[in-house]
A and B are shown apart, each in its own frame.
Chain A
Amino acid sequence: MSFPWANEYKPSHPFMQWMDEKLPLPRFVYNAVGAGYPVPRNLNYWYNFGILAGVCLMLQIITGVILAMHYAANQGVAFDSVEHIMRDVNWGWMMRYAHANGASAFFVVVYIHIFRGFLFGSYKAPREMIWLLGVTIFLLMMATAFMGYVLPWGQMSFWGAKVITGLFSAIPIVGEPLQQWLLGGFAPDNAALNRFFSLHFLLPFVILGVVILHIWALHIPGSTNPTGVEVKQESDTLPFHPYYTAKDGFGLGVFLLIYCAVLFFGPNMLGHPDNYIAADPLSTPAHIVPEWYFWPFYAILRAFTADFFFIPAKLMGVLAMFASILVWFFLPWLDTSPVRSSRYRPLLRKFVWFGLLPDVLILGYCGGSPAEAKFVLISQLGSLYYFLHFLVILPIVSSIEKPEPLPFSITESVLGKDDGAVLPANPAAA
């Protein structure tokens, strides 16, 4: 679906006309990301991160498929095969660093993309399905990233696998058999490594599939925009191409600059030295931490140190960690405000910028720190606030907040006036 004023695809070359009759793929592209897709004219740089996430996914798939050509998923040789990639394979070091740092870049981009959703109310009707699919993509990303981190079979890989699959053993009764079933053994070993490799190869393509659904769902109502006011008329939009291809292209350049700076000048900055030690099932590293992008959730996991009524502390931590993401699924219904963008929601804006954002950053810092009493205490307070934000603050703010006046249209917010507001062509007036 698109707006009625969208440009129509008119192939001029006879070959393209022939093609359009047999397989209208160029027409599809034209209507999806070309001049045939009208987009709100006021999108700012927050709106670059969807495309950037797509770029990251492709980057990961390409470098990942290449790495799989040189990697051996066997407990005896996996660690050495990664060193073989680093030292012997032509450009292997670059492929591996690009893939490892690509994962970090993907998470940076996706976190900003999600935060954009919090800021501009992208999850609100009629875009709930886009949001639900997005949260699904994020969960799949977490699973993929976790399994990918196990593959080099270093100390952090091994112990990360052990700790994370150990989470499942917290589930009453079925926990331990479930953990053994997931690992194919009593501890991470060849069976686990092999299946993680298989799934790590599969899941990105599942993500790609859900991304296609995500974009499909997006193209039904079209993009939201910083005002949160829906598109009313042609003057509210611009064709995606060339306007947003250019804007996204510029954003992509900036992104690649930062990505390459890390890739070439600090490729191990975000890694752990312990993972350059081959996995040793008899010795645990002194300080096990997951990759930085899991830190906030890891902090929530560790925040539960006492039994909660009849629920043991360990299970409680696991439940809280999963709940911290699953709560996002309910966001479209927890936020009942009729106003979409936090630009016109003075109270919510403050809670997002000065409540939720610092809270997640502090949780992240605690999750990356050793399990000392002070960090555990801060994690507990941080976890409490995190859930309060979604389950208490957001619904209350939605009902008591007095929103600021909205512009009549996107055109008015951009130009200061909107002639369309009085024209009969305006569907709202008609």
Chain B
Amino acid sequence: MADEAIIDPAHDTGEGVRRRDFINIAAVSFAGVGGIAVLVPLISQMSPSADVLAESSTEIDISQIATGQAIKAIFRKQPVFIRNLTPAEIGEAQKVDVASLRDPQSLDDRTKPGKTNWLITMGVCTHLGCVPLGAGEGEVKGEFGGYFCPCHGSSYDTAARIRKGPAPKNLEVPPYEFTSDTVVKIG
């Protein structure tokens, strides 16, 4: 190995890693790591903020919902449908062959044990996010008797499962629990 003291770095074509190469790569790498680290706050500031997340649970009194009725509540600034199914609607949902569905789920999968009549789903069409009709008094329920999205014609059945139209999934069941017989906590 030559004496380093007399090698002109600019004209050094010899083998091996020079001290300058090491410093170059180390400096640029470190600047790169710093640059990437700066991206973290720049990107993550756009995610839902603390106050938006703080509103992510809501309690609803369901004592006034008669059999066959539905209400629209708000959860995470989006509509939630709470529906008190009639025995006929439950029967209709249960006689469908689950395997034949686009998004195979039974009514029992979508409700709490012993509370099969309480169908709680997001009121957000899984296609592009419109609010389906069918929860309000006198709204069309589509050909499967559940919900009907007017935007692109998706029809949901009495268990809010997708049966026809472009939507890929059943109406989402949000996380919820019954805190008493008349109060449900969503989120």
B142–chain A nearest beta-carbon distance, Å: 14
Q: How far is the CA of A166 from the CA of B74 in the complex (A)?
A: 19
B52 touches A189 (CB 8 A): yes
B151 contacts A by Cβ under 8 Å? yes
In the bound complex, residues from chain B placing their C-beta under 8 Å from that of A186 are 48, 52, 56, 76-78
In the complex where A181-B47, A184-B46, A314-B166 touch, is A163 in contact with B76 (Cβ < 8 A)? no
Q: How far is the CA of A304 from the CA of B166 in the complex (A)?
A: 8
B131 touches A283 (CB 8 A): yes
Question: For this complex, into which size category does the number of interface residues on chain B fall?
Answer: 20 to 34
Question: For this complex, into which size category does the number of interface residues on chain A fall?
Answer: 20 to 34
B91 contacts A by Cβ under 8 Å? no
The A-contacting residues of B in range 43-102, CB under 8 angstroms, are 43, 46-49, 52, 56, 72, 74, 76-79
Q: How far is the CA of A286 from the CA of B151 in the complex (A)?
A: 7
In the complex where A182-B46, A288-B151 touch, is A189 in contact with B77 (Cβ < 8 A)? yes
Q: How far is the CA of A40 from the CA of B124 in the complex (A)?
A: 57
Among A167, A182, A185, A189: residue with most chain B CB under 10 A: A185
B9 contacts A by Cβ under 8 Å? no
In the bound complex, residues from chain A placing their C-beta under 8 Å from that of B43 are 181
A313 touches B49 (CB 8 A): no
B166 touches A187 (CB 8 A): no
In the complex where A163-B151, A189-B52, A282-B131 touch, is A184 in contact with B47 (Cβ < 8 A)? yes
A199–chain B nearest beta-carbon distance, Å: 11
In the bound complex, residues from chain B placing their C-beta under 8 Å from that of A185 are 48, 52, 76-77
A286 touches B127 (CB 8 A): no
- The listed residue (B47, B49, B150) touching A286 by CB distance below 8 A is B150
In the bound complex, residues from chain A placing their C-beta under 8 Å from that of B104 are none
B128 touches A282 (CB 8 A): no
A266–chain B nearest beta-carbon distance, Å: 27
A313 touches B131 (CB 8 A): no
In the bound complex, residues from chain A placing their C-beta under 8 Å from that of B152 are 302, 371
B2–chain A nearest beta-carbon distance, Å: 48
In the complex where A281-B79, A282-B74, A371-B152 touch, is A180 in contact with B48 (Cβ < 8 A)? yes
B150 touches A305 (CB 8 A): no
B145 contacts A by Cβ under 8 Å? no
Q: How far is the CA of A195 from the CA of B42 in the complex (A)?
A: 13
A159 contacts B by Cβ under 8 Å? yes
In the bound complex, residues from chain A placing their C-beta under 8 Å from that of B32 are none
CB-nearest residue of chain B to A180: B48
Q: How far is the CA of A169 from the CA of B78 in the complex (A)?
A: 16
A159 touches B168 (CB 8 A): no
A184 touches B49 (CB 8 A): yes
The A-contacting residues of B in range 106-164, CB under 8 angstroms, are 123-124, 127-131, 149-153
In the bound complex, residues from chain B placing their C-beta under 8 Å from that of A166 are 127-129
Q: How far is the CA of A186 from the CA of B187 in the complex (A)?
A: 13
A162 touches B130 (CB 8 A): yes
Among A189, A284, A304: residue with most chain B CB under 10 A: A284
A191 contacts B by Cβ under 8 Å? yes
A191 touches B131 (CB 8 A): no
Among A182, A286, A371: residue with most chain B CB under 10 A: A371
Query: Given A162-B129, A189-B77, A195-B46, 18 other A-B contacts at CB below 8 A?
Result: A163-B128, A166-B127, A166-B129, A184-B46, A186-B56, A186-B78, A187-B78, A281-B74, A281-B77, A281-B78, A283-B131, A284-B130, A284-B149, A286-B150, A287-B150, A288-B130, A305-B166, A314-B168
Chosen A-B contacts, 14 in total, with CB atoms closer than 8 Å, are: A162-B129, A181-B47, A185-B48, A185-B52, A186-B52, A281-B77, A282-B72, A282-B79, A284-B150, A284-B151, A288-B130, A302-B152, A312-B168, A314-B168
Question: Which B residues fall within an 8 A CB radius of A?
Answer: 43, 46-49, 52, 56, 72, 74, 76-79, 123-124, 127-131, 149-153, 166-168
Question: Which A residues fall within an 8 A CB radius of B?
Answer: 159, 162-163, 165-167, 169, 180-187, 189, 191, 195, 281-284, 286-288, 302, 304-305, 312-314, 317, 371
